[in-house]
Amino acid sequence: MSYENPISERFTLPSAAYGATTASQKIRGPKGKIGYVRDITVIPTADMVGTTTVPEVAVGATQGAAEYARFRLGTAVGTGYTAAQGVRRARPLATTTTTPPTLTDFAAHVQLETARIPADTDVFVSGVQGVGGTPAGTFVAYVDVEWF
């Protein structure tokens, strides 16, 4: 395994109302390669709403799980991003100098590279609905993975 020449791949979670329902897309990396989620980009087209937790993009072993990466779509646990705020990227928000890159201004706001994606394994990229009140939010998401 060489970390010098990774294979970069971008996966798209098409535009949908993920704020009110959880939906996933199954992905798999190149044969024999492990991966790390380097960034998550979200383009909101309707405001993110959830009074207990905001909607999120999660990357994990099962639908809605987030062991490989997570991007909660808000400025606080119950305050979601608005469509007017435009494109949001997880990596620039993770201003810590720690590895893995995180932002913990509220619980698990941004978590990238939290675990390596095992080789030859199906992984789910999920738009996870908000919780509480009347959950809402529509967005398209891009998940950038580097495979080694």
Task: For residue range 54-109, list pLDDT tens digits in order.
Answer: 999 999 999 999 999 999 999 999 999 999 999 999 999 997 677 899 999 999 99
Give the CATH number for residue 123: 2.60.120
Residue 146 confidence (pLDDT) above 70: yes
Domain that residue 36 falls in: 8-147
Query: 98 or 35: which carries more pLDDT confidence?
Result: 35
Q: Which two tokens stand for residue 15?
A: 């535009």
1 found inside a domain: no
Mean pLDDT of the chain: 94
**Vertex 122, ends 110 and 126: CA angle to 5°?**
40
| Terminal CA-CA length for the chain | 6
Residue 87, Cβ density class (10 Å: 0-12 exposed, 13-18 middle, ≥19 buried): exposed
Rounded Cα distance between 138 and 47, Å, is: 7
Short-list 140, 16, 17, CA closest to 88:
140
3 found inside a domain: no
Query: 40 or 97: which carries more pLDDT confidence?
Result: 40
Task: For residue range 116-126, list pLDDT tens digits in order.
Answer: 999 999 999 99
